[in-house]
Amino acid sequence: MKKVMMFLLAITLISACSHTPNTLQEKKELKAHLGKGHVSKETSVEKKIVGIPEYPKAAQRKIVKGGPDDSISNFRPDPIQNENKATYKLDLTMDSEEKFTVTAEVKVENISKDEWNEIVFYFIPNAFTEENKPESLKNAAEVSISSIELDGEKADYLLDHDTLYLPLEESFKPGEERSVTVRYTLTVPEFGFRLSNNFNNIYLAEWYPMLATYHSGWRKEDYIVSGESYFTDYSDFKVKYSLPEEYMVLSTADNDPANPSASGELESQNVKEFYMALTKNMEVVQQTAGDVEVRVAGVASTESLKQILDKSVNVLNYFSAKLSPYPQKQIDIITDEGGMEYPGIVTIGPFNEGHKDEGRGSQYFALIHEIAHQWFYGTVNNDPYYDVFIDEGLTNFATYLFLIGHDKKTPEETFAFAEQHAARTTALAHLPLHEYLNGGFMGANYEIPPLKLWELTGGEKEAFDYLSKYVELYSYQEVDTAEWIRFTKSYFKLNDDQFFQEWISYE
């Protein structure tokens, strides 16, 4: 894994040293190198000559030291303003060999003040091909782009690992909208990482070209499997699917079909990404929590799934009351994958029969944690490459608070694992993801933040008052470390930075 991480870091450094084509002549020369429909694996020699050019990169905001700007009653949020917007229309067809043919049409709006010479996407399936996949994965994805069009005309492009780069002959001016259409085929790897085919249950995570965000520069880092290294803004989705036979469809959308289907159309608005699962051998049980339909899918016994469903309803109701109402009309819980959050759907591992293990490493803890992410990731956004402690730390804090407030655990037993982990962690929070190569990721970002916030709040009610105010002020906006510190200083009337500098990097 270390070799893979170092390779990704090397790619980043190499790309940063490349030259940006700014003049018309330079763009013509680049086009001559690229050719139409350039794909790195097909023209590796040209790839070494050209590479993906350097493009404008966003800078991180500096943390302002000192006392709070104002009391929380007069506090004015200053979230990060994303400066582009994507609208997705996705059409996927699966054949009898479980190979997908996808047409992804992305409407891109430039709402910045800058003229762009490029459009940058994540194309994460390419990170799992034979030439790119991590050594830890045995099986590879098969990915082939057949064409890319820009406003209906065939377009040049470069594909390097998970970066899809479109150079533009004419600059993309502020206020304009462009249409990018990517046609490709995809075979999902068996027992992959999130994008996976497990016993003919197919999990489509990060399966389409995802527009990188823009804030006075593009915000795109290399994909790393040890964390959430991709970052997207809120978008609207229309998804059409056609399958060779009926599958149970579980997705981000609120309008999933109630029964197995071979075709359909799904829609979702104002969500960060769109996840789909196509299942053949899972039972689905469901129940309503207020106005929300809660569905649990898995291969366990019906009785076991119903127990998980009851727990899921309890968690959803609790957080909806303590934080803010759950924002969607449906939530799905898949009990066959590792723990991961997506809008409107979460995955966890199989529960132990009887669910007796409810410790920190249990699937019960994972269930609470992943549902809490619907607020800290789903409702309030942050960049997990640089600010991962914000969503993971606040999510874990809410999870611990649930154990104290709902399950009536004592703070001592609830935070015991976090205390042990923190004692052996020397790394700080707010480091770029690749700087956790030597360890400290979990302690710095998952366990120390809840301990420090418990130190500030000291009670379940006080803690949820703080978290609910945070959600209220920043719903559907992006918070970075500088803004989170600014808010927390004002909320708790902290006059200096000593509390934060003990565990957060100010670099």
Q: Is 215 annotated as a binding residue?
A: no
Give phi and psi for 444, each to the nearest 5: -70, -35
Q: Catalytic residue, from 184, 386, 400, 446: name it.
A: 446
Q: Is the dihedral of CA 363, 364, 366, 370 positive or negative?
A: positive
Cα distance between residue 316 and residue 310, in whole Å: 10
314 to 238, 290, 323, 467: CA distances (angstroms): 31, 11, 14, 19
What are the start-end ranges of the H helices in 266-347? 302-322
Please count the other Cβ atoms lying within 10 Å of the Cβ belonging to residue 81: 11
- Catalytic (active site) residue 170: no
Q: DSSP assignment of 183-227, as one string?
A: EEEEEPPBT-SSSEEETTEEEESS-S-EEPEESSSEE-----TTT
Give phi and psi for 346, each to the nearest 5: -135, 155
Say which DSSP state 427 is in: P
Q: Is 430 annotated as a binding residue?
A: no
Question: Which token pair is 252?
Answer: 């981000």
Q: Is 161 annotated as a binding residue?
A: no
- Catalytic (active site) residue 478: no
309 dihedral zone (left: phi>0; alpha: psi -120 to 50; beta)? alpha
Cα distance between residue 296 and residue 298, in whole Å: 7
Q: What number of H helices and E strands is found in the chain?
A: 13, 21
Q: Catalytic residue, from 83, 228, 341, 370: name it.
A: 370
Angle at which helices 302-322 and 363-372 pack, to 10 degrees? 40
Give phi and psi for 117, each to the nearest 5: -105, 5
Strands 177-187 and 99-110: antiparallel
Please count the other Cβ atoms lying within 10 Å of the Cβ belonging to residue 42: 13
Catalytic residues: 370, 446
Residue list, annotated binding site: 369, 373, 392
Residue list, annotated binding site for Zn(2+): 369, 373, 392
